[in-house]
Structure 1
């Protein structure tokens, strides 16, 4: 497990998955179809339990300019600055279950933000950083 410091908040625009985990791929595909300019963007997956305990999942991407989400008819999510514990999953497409395993390990840490989310940062085409923010 490693640590990463996001020095500033990131405003993400997103598409919600209809169901978790079955609709994750569809949410990402819909996001990619709506956001056609790929250059200079970071892609994320955000998951957290709602008030009933049901997991909500959002396929998300950074905005290239203020108001881009509204122009595309998308909602925004604030990815908070701070220190995140993370585990990198290499070649995640070959072992999707490794993402779940990484989060199970990360969620054992008693120092995580109880109001935070599980964050997948797709920092390249093959690998993902599974991240959880500390308090």
Structure 2
């Protein structure tokens, strides 16, 4: 199941995204819209992003594009996610434990000061390994 949380540095992420019409019921259709435009899913980097807008959660299925040409050809909106320090937990065999994702994000937010301007991030490392990340507020120096 989940690994112990660690702090990691992420680079800026430039992603093509498909916004879910609602949360959580619109998550699967958002992924289907994004994946249906791809010739293959192999070797691609996929991300799930959840933002808080007012009192609602907004979800985006995201994909790291291979080129500017792909962005133009697929015609999805793009988002830039600011890099920096993130708290990360790895969830193994995630398809069987997807129901634990919300609980794990809750634990991360309990244990680390989340930057409210950034999203929670699901990075689909493989068919069996999911990285759950939250942006961490840097302490004042």
TM-score normalised per structure 2: 0.86
- Say how many residue pairs are matched: 133
Match of 2:23 among 20, 23, 37: 20
Which runs of no fewer than 5 residues in structure 2 stay unpaired?
none
- Once the two structures are superposed, the pairs formed by residues 92-111 of structure 1 within 5 Å of their partners are 92-111=94-113
Q: Which residue of 2 is the match for residue 30 of structure 1?
A: 33
d(CA) in 2 for partners of 1:126, 1:30: 22
2:99 corresponds to 1:113? no
SS in 2 for 1:34: coil
- 1:121 CA drift (Å): 0.3
**Which protein shows a greater Rg?**
2
TM-score normalised per structure 1: 0.90
SS in 1 for 2:32: helix
- 1:26 CA drift (Å): 1.6
Q: Which residue of 2 is the match for residue 2 of structure 1?
A: 6
Show CA shifts across 1:42-87 (max 9, x none).
Answer: 100000111x321100000101012532321100111211111011
- 1:30 CA drift (Å): 1.6
Equivalent pair of 2:6/2:89 in contact (CA under 8 Å): yes
d(CA) in 2 for partners of 1:114, 1:78: 16
- 1:89 CA drift (Å): 1.1
d(CA) in 2 for partners of 1:41, 1:83: 23
SS in 1 for 2:110: coil
Which runs of no fewer than 5 residues in structure 1 stay unpaired?
none
SS in 2 for 1:48: strand
Q: Which residue of 2 is the match for residue 64 of structure 1?
A: 66
